[in-house]
Structure 1
């Protein structure tokens, strides 16, 4: 699906929620400039600091399934509907995407997102790295490239965006992030519609101070998980 089609998709309208001024969001030039500087510095620092851990995780992934790829790439939707390849450590068995259709009726999250707590496709090492969000570390490369930011809404799949309402589409006004208000507010224990509200609340109150608060909360969650699976 083309980017224009993704953003042109309109379904039912939410009547009692936050509606954003897109021009105002995109006009925060000073904030966006410093946010990009922080993204570049933070991603370089993060990649350097976690390199030993990433090497160890790569070894464990290859050890569990010797012929499997270590990095999983997937098309995600970014700012203004632009698609990009997002990178993660592979936490599922080979052929996981092909098995998805058989599991859709077990979805535990209402709305345009799929999650089940006991996903049979997740490997043993996958359960460990997902619980502490270590599988997300390769996304620091996406941040360095400019596809993502350190902090922002979760990057959705194309099939999820195809189900978005005009209200939901507002979360695409900004770059997606490795972490964000939803991720530090319960993550998979938060409903899809609550996630949208949290994302729009974040966009409304965007600022370096709030970004730093979310970064600190993210570090604490890596130490003490908050519902990731």
Structure 2
């Protein structure tokens, strides 16, 4: 809120003062108040959404509304004594840039707090035993969410496999509606939960859920329903009703506002700008690679791109010249330290001393800007796989090829080679199904930290 207030108020007051207007301070305060009011009404500061509704597009929509209100105010006042429209618009721009920059930083800070079991909500999971096990397992496997499970209320007498304390049980038949409500209320009180997470099922019917909702809301407690959807981003889900039924409509990924076109344009412009700015660094690295070990400066390798189309990927050479020939020998000797289709070693004997430094700083991947400029790759996307890896892919794993591979992505910012194969696939599938321009901006923001950290870079 402080960033939003200063980001609009200070530039607007300065612009009014520079334009010779009266009471610039009052104008700045009015603009800042309108901006924070818009953000607050759209729940950008709500505790349960802080760090989640951070998107750049959300900030842009708020900013457009603010600009529209300002234009309306200038029109109604006939602009007498007010700022020029172009000046006012320019004064509002720093606020948009600051909000779009600080919001993903807020999310990163919130995720760090959640990894330390702070900024979380104590949840009680209610539902069929199998559904309870599934929900608890999913929530326990990750820390990038707001819930920590403190107890469970299964339906029936079947035991739980997740090891979660049973705070109460609901009867299998569900004939006594009052008994359901009393059992959940007692369980919430005994466990100290803030919210009940209900997973509907065969015996956890809509009518039983309705009774539990009435009881919890009557006691001033919160309830959330886990519908069974997995790895679907919040922005793609829109609730609606039909004949009294609550329906969740799931939109296809990134089809709004021309985002595929915008992503392609950003890739080409970003790659062209990167090649222009980094040209001197390319020269220095090329001389270093050539002077420290025999062999070519660049390493060219066939990779699989969009829909499995092969292309030649460029990198600065970080291994000895005969690295590809020695890979098969290392694979046969059991040196592979990765559990999936990829070949990875922490101390690969083929890597040169300079190559280790280039990999640690991800400088070896800079020539892939050429691939991005050609359209073979994107700035953000899944890791481009080798053809022999793709040959062993399952139908689920082939879904990774539904988008262009990227220079960086969730795989790189989440641990790179330290991740298991299943974790790598899960991250890539989430990206394929949920990517958006806002997601790409967040990943790019996290990439710098991953490069500095160097975790999993080998």
For the aligned pair, the TM-score class normalised by the smaller chain equals 0.7 to 0.9
Residue number among 276, 285, 293 corresponding to 1:65 in the alignment: 293
1:56 correspondence with 2:284: yes
Residue equivalent to 1:98? 325
2-side partners of 1:159 and 1:109: how far apart?
A: 15
CA, structure 1 residues 28+149, in 2 after alignment: closer, same or farther (shift >3 Å)? farther
Residue equivalent to 2:305? 78
Shift, 1:219, TM fit: 2.1
1:127-166 aligned at under 5 Å gives the runs 127-166=356-395
Residue equivalent to 1:47? 275
CA deviation vs aligned residue, 1:41-78 (integer Å, no higher than 9, x gap)? 11112112222222111111111124x11011100001
Residue equivalent to 2:451? 222
Contact 2:339/2:420, CA 8 A, preserved across alignment:
yes
Shift, 1:223, TM fit: 2.8
Shift, 1:147, TM fit: 0.2
Gap regions ≥5 residues in structure 1: 1-15
2-side partners of 1:176 and 1:107: how far apart?
A: 23
1-side partners of 2:450 and 2:281: how far apart?
A: 17
Shift, 1:27, TM fit: 5.6
1-side partners of 2:316 and 2:253: how far apart?
A: 32
Residue number among 396, 402, 405 corresponding to 1:173 in the alignment: 402
2-side partners of 1:29 and 1:79: how far apart?
A: 22
Equivalenced residue count is 210
**Aligned partner of residue 73 in structure 1, secondary structure:** strand
Contact 1:25/1:173, CA 8 A, preserved across alignment:
no
Contact 1:132/1:221, CA 8 A, preserved across alignment:
no
**Aligned partner of residue 74 in structure 1, secondary structure:** strand
1-side partners of 2:300 and 2:256: how far apart?
A: 31
Superposed CA RMSD = 2.0
Residue number among 205, 208, 213 corresponding to 2:437 in the alignment: 208
Shift, 1:99, TM fit: 0.4
TM-score scaled by length of structure 1: 0.87
Contact 2:318/2:364, CA 8 A, preserved across alignment:
yes
TM-score scaled by length of structure 2: 0.44
CA, structure 1 residues 27+80, in 2 after alignment: closer, same or farther (shift >3 Å)? farther
Shift, 1:221, TM fit: 2.4
CA, structure 1 residues 29+162, in 2 after alignment: closer, same or farther (shift >3 Å)? farther
Residue number among 414, 427, 430 corresponding to 1:185 in the alignment: 414
Select between 202-211 and 126-135 the one with higher mean Cα deviation.
202-211
**Aligned partner of residue 299 in structure 2, secondary structure:** strand
2-side partners of 1:127 and 1:177: how far apart?
A: 21
Contact 1:76/1:83, CA 8 A, preserved across alignment:
yes
**Aligned partner of residue 450 in structure 2, secondary structure:** helix
Residue equivalent to 1:115? 344
Contact 2:254/2:434, CA 8 A, preserved across alignment:
no
Structure of greater relative contact order (alpha carbons < 8 Å, 6+ residues apart): 1
Larger Rg: 2
